[in-house]
Structure 1
Amino acid sequence: MYIIAGLGNPGREYANTRHNVGFDTVDVLADRYRIEIETKKHKALIGKGIIEGQKVILAKPQTYMNLSGESVRELVDFYKIDETTELIIIYDDISLNPGQIRIRLKGSAGGHNGIKSIIQHLGGQEFPRIKVGVGEKPVGYDLADYVLGHFTGDDKYEIENAKKRAADAAVMMICGAAEKAMNEFNRKV
């Protein structure tokens, strides 16, 4: 079994913001594979289903970004998965250009508070992740205002494509092709 958790903030006011591309990517998977994400469990909205023959839990932690680790820890413990191989976290990254994707099998938080929380609660940095680039904040902008803002102009188009590619990457990863996914998706767009 695999858990694919997209990070974001709950509530309508955060829908379609830069910080919620993890939620949005999980929604792409849910639509594609007809998985309903509506059960509230483990401080998350979850949906159970099958993706390419693999049992999966799609999760959207409802703890707000900075506390994402609480939900992820509960999910990992309850479903007794190996977080180093059977967990995929999808989230926004301001150090990547809008629409760029980067897959890592482990690593630091890189300043992302949701990932900091997950590292703290899991007790380590070894878990697969898919970063979706949302672009660097403009000079003079407050970081929180930027990541909680909406996409504009060409970025909207790039992000829609990135969410689909991130979903494709997650599918490859659960099918045992993490290295292939890294080779295919870690290129600049």
Structure 2
Amino acid sequence: MLVVGLGNPGAQYEGTRHNIGVEVVELLASRHGGRLRKSKELALTDEVHVGGRRLALAFPQTYMNLSGDAVGLLVKRYGIEDPAHLVVVHDELDLPVGRLKLKMGGGLAGNNGLKSIKAHLKSAEFGRVRIGIGKPPSSQRGADHVLRHPTKAERTELDVVVQEAADAVELILSDGFEAAMNRYNARRAGD
């Protein structure tokens, strides 16, 4: 299985709402003795073993809107022929802060990173681990909201959901996507 955390490269983007998917991939690498390193696939990558199963981890270095450039290369490198063996972890404006929702295939909710991946794979039937970052205040554009750092209260909630999202990825690997959806989609923020 290949897990891709979406975000933007560069120190100025670390800790922003848009890079929450990257935080999950970094946590998974850390939990399982891995370390993301530069690869020729336009991404930071590593492979770890979780419960005897191989898990490839990646953080595209192409910026969010061009994520498909890296994902297309990564899918080839890791021999991912079934899009269901690709899981993309990303921020989601349409979910409240701290809410975690898993989804297989479906719409792209205006996420340009997902649009780019679909264009390269010619399929939207990959798994998603969606992490709620909430809608921006009416005075702020969505692009400004995602590129800013969360408030202190939001950061506390996001730290918890990053752990839960990593747990969800591990459950997908061990028990399958449906089992993980049944467990995590039934939960509500604060449960």
TM-score class, shorter-chain normalisation, is: over 0.9
3-state secondary structure, aligned to 2:83: coil
Q: Indicate whether 1:122 and 2:121 are aligned.
A: yes
Specify the SS of the correspondent of 1:85.
helix
1:179 counterpart residue number: 178
C-alpha contact (below 8 Å) 2:24/2:162 kept by paired residues:
yes
The residue that corresponds to 2:10 in the other structure is 11
| 2:21 alignment partner in structure 1 | 22
Q: Quick one: structure 1 residues 50 and 119, their matched pair in 2 at CA, closer, same or farther if it must change by over 3 Å?
A: same
Which consecutive residues of structure 2, in runs of 5 or more, have no partner in the other structure? none
Residue 148 (structure 2) aligns with = 149
| 2:43 and 2:70 in contact (8 A); partners too | yes
Give every structure 1 segment of 4 or more consecutive aligned residues whose post-TM-superposition deviation is greater than 6 Å.
Answer: none
* Cα deviation code 1:43-67 (max 9, x no counterpart): 1000112112111211000000000
- Please list every run of 5 or more consecutive structure 1 residues that lacks an aligned counterpart in the other structure: none
Q: For the aligned residues, what is the CA RMSD?
A: 1.0
Contact persistence 2:135–2:142 (CA under 8 A) = no
**TM-score, reference length from structure 2:** 0.95
Q: How much identity, in percent, do the aligned residues show? A: 38
Paired residues in the alignment total 188
- SS at 2:27's partner residue? helix
Deviations 1:14-72 (A, max 9, x none): 00000000110101101111111113230100011211211121100000000001110
In structure 2, the residue matched to 1:76 is 75
2:90 — aligned with what? 91
2:188 corresponds to: 188
Give the 3-state SS of the residue equivalent to 1:175 in structure 2.
Answer: helix
* Counterpart contact for 1:76–1:83, Cα < 8 Å: no
**Mapped partners of 1:49, 1:103: distance in 2:** 22
What amino acid sits opposite 1:188 in the alignment?
R
Tell me how far apart the structure 2 counterparts of residues 172 and 82 of structure 1 sit (CA, whole Å). 21
Q: TM (normalized to structure 1)?
A: 0.96
Give a deviation string over 1:102-124, Cα, whole Å, max 9, x none.
10111111101100101111101
Asked if the contact 2:83–2:123 (Cα under 8 Å) also holds between the matched residues in 1, the reply is no
Alignment of 1:157-172 (within 5 A): 157-172=156-171
Answer with 39-48 or 59-68: which moved more.
Answer: 39-48
